């Protein structure tokens, strides 16, 4: 009978250890799941922020490029106008020298 109670005591200790390990494992799983959801949420926020910044920079670059193209066109037109003016003056000088 003593052996029976001894065996029962050892088995109950093993059962308690098993239950504690099981609860500890479940707590770790729940915490890990919670941490994973927080990480996913943080990652999504960072991706959205990065996408917004990229879109803003793309818009800013487009505006800058449009401004550069307009300025190049203005300079080209000014240069063309100045060249035409100088050519007209040269033609007038040549006409005067012929006369």
Any idea what the Cα angle at residue 15 is, between residues 30 and 1, rounded to 5°?
170
Q: Taking the mean position of all CA atoms in its chain, how far away is CA 58?
A: 12
Give the C-alpha separation, 42 to 76, whole Å. 50
Query: pLDDT tens digits for 25-57?
Result: 999 999 999 999 999 999 999 999 999 999 999
% of the chain beyond a pLDDT of 70: 99
- Confidence check: pLDDT of 99 > 80: no
The dihedral built from the CA positions of residue 22, 24, 28 and 34, taken in this order, carries a sign that is positive
Mean pLDDT of 7-27: 95
- Confidence check: pLDDT of 93 > 90: no
Mean pLDDT of 70-87: 94
Q: In the chain, where does DSSP find H-type helix?
A: 2-98
């Amino acid at each position: 009978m003593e052996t029976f109670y001894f065996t029962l005591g050892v088995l109950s200790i093993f059962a308690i250890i098993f239950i504690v390990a099981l609860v500890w494992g479940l707590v770790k799983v729940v915490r890990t799941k919670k941490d994973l959801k927080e990480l996913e949420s943080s990652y999504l926020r960072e991706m959205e922020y990065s996408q917004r910044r990229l879109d803003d920079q793309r818009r800013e670059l487009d505006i800058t490029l449009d401004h550069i193209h307009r300025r190049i066109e203005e300079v080209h037109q000014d240069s063309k106008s100045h060249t035409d003016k100088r050519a007209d003056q040269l033609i007038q000088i040549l006409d005067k020298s012929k006369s």
